[in-house]
């Protein structure tokens, strides 16, 4: 099966620093692919380059058979390349419901209706409730989202991305700052989503990564140092070296 999304020798430099250096990855449909690596490895930069948040220095991004390297952001999203952010990025002044509704409206269309009510987009409203239900935010839907707890805002991020009808869903540390219970719930959700679409997961919680990933790619100093199944990665000596001295080392060892 050909990959749904791939990069070819993708590089991104900041001044003299190569945050990404000749990275080539291929993402398969309906799988969870985790990207791990120590702080500053280039994980977020990789997602930024793929989704158009940052222009690349060189290399190409191919999505659904098309070279999208220099496409505008909204065109990528419209074709189902959706993401969340490491630093929570939601519409703070709006309710959780309106956050998801506006994202669903972008996907379904109807935004140029000047003289209709928002509720007149019935399908959008219906889908919004379904998405909120799926991520477990139904009860908090009408609260202004700035009043939501941190964990709920992280989940709302995922809901907003889901509303875009993703074919590839890129999640940048969705469980960061979550309680263990919340982490378990979001891990279950991501694992389920991985059967419906391609999921690219950046995450530091090794227990979660090892339990739900189909494949793992390890980044270190902007380059790929290993790729394989969770079992292969936890046995890889190079990966252990890269993580040496990092607090992330412990859980990885604990799994052995």
Ligand X SMILES: Nc1ncnc2c1ncn2[C@@H]1O[C@H](COP(=O)(O)OP(=O)(O)OP(=O)(O)O)[C@@H](O)[C@H]1O
Contact positions toward ligand X, by CB under 6 A? 14, 17, 19, 37, 39-45, 86
Stretch that binds another protein, among 14-22, 55-63, 108-116, 207-215 (CB under 8 A): 108-116
Shortest Cβ 98–Mg ion spacing (Å): 28
Question: H or E segment at 122?
Answer: helix 122-135
Considering only 7, 34, 44, 128, the residue that binds Mg ion (CB under 5 A) is 44
CB atoms within 10 A of CB 14: 11
89 forms part of the interface with another protein (CB under 8 A): yes
Phi first, then psi, for residue 185 (nearest 5°) are -65, -45
**Which pair of structure tokens corresponds to residue 173?**
């540390």
Shortest Cβ 64–another protein spacing (Å): 15
Q: Is 223 exposed, middle or buried (0-12, 13-18, 19+ CB in 10 A)?
A: middle
48 forms part of the interface with another protein (CB under 8 A): no
Shortest Cβ 121–another protein spacing (Å): 6
51 forms part of the interface with another protein (CB under 8 A): yes
Question: Mapping DSSP to helix (H, G, I), strand (E, B) and coil, where does residue 241 land?
Answer: helix
Question: H or E segment at 49?
Answer: helix 43-51
144: DSSP letter: B
Shortest Cβ 102–another protein spacing (Å): 5
150 forms part of the interface with another protein (CB under 8 A): no
Shortest Cβ 76–ligand X spacing (Å): 19
Q: Is 49 exposed, middle or buried (0-12, 13-18, 19+ CB in 10 A)?
A: buried
121 binds, among ligand X, another protein, Mg ion, none (CB under 5 to 8 A by kind): another protein
**Which pair of structure tokens corresponds to residue 113?**
């209706």
Distance CA 151, CA 89 (A): 13
Which residues would be at the binding site for another protein (CB under 8 A)?
A: 51, 53, 72-74, 77-78, 82-83, 89-95, 97-98, 101-103, 105-107, 110-121, 125, 129, 142, 160, 163-164
């Amino acid at each position: 099966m050909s990959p749904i999304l791939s990069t070819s020798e993708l590089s991104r430099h900041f001044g003299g620093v190569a945050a990404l250096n000749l990275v080539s990855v291929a993402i398969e449909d309906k799988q969870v692919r985790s990207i791990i690596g120590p702080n500053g490895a280039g994980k977020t930069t990789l997602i930024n380059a793929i989704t158009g948040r940052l222009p690349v220095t060189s290399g190409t991004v191919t999505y659904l058979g098309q070279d999208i390297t220099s496409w505008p952001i909204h065109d990528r999203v419209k074709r189902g390349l959706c993401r969340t952010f490491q630093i929570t990025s939601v519409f703070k002044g709006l309710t959780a419901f309106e956050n998801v509704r506006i994202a669903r409206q972008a996907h379904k269309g109807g935004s140029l209706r000047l003289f209709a009510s928002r509720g007149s987009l019935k399908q959008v409203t219906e889908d919004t409730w379904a998405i909120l239900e799926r991520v477990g935010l139904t009860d908090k839907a009408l609260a202004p989202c700035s009043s939501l707890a941190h964990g709920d805002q992280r989940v709302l991020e995922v809901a907003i991305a889901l509303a875009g009808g993703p074919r590839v869903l890129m999640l940048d540390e969705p469980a960061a700052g979550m309680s263990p219970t919340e982490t378990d719930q979001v891990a279950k959700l991501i694992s389920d989503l991985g059967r419906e679409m391609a999921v690219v997961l950046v995450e530091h919680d090794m227990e979660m990564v090892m339990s739900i990933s189909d494949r793992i790619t390890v980044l270190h100093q902007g380059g790929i140092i290993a790729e394989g199944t969770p079992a292969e990665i936890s046995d890889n000596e190079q990966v252990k070296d890269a993580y040496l001295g990092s607090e992330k080392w412990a859980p990885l060892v604990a799994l052995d």
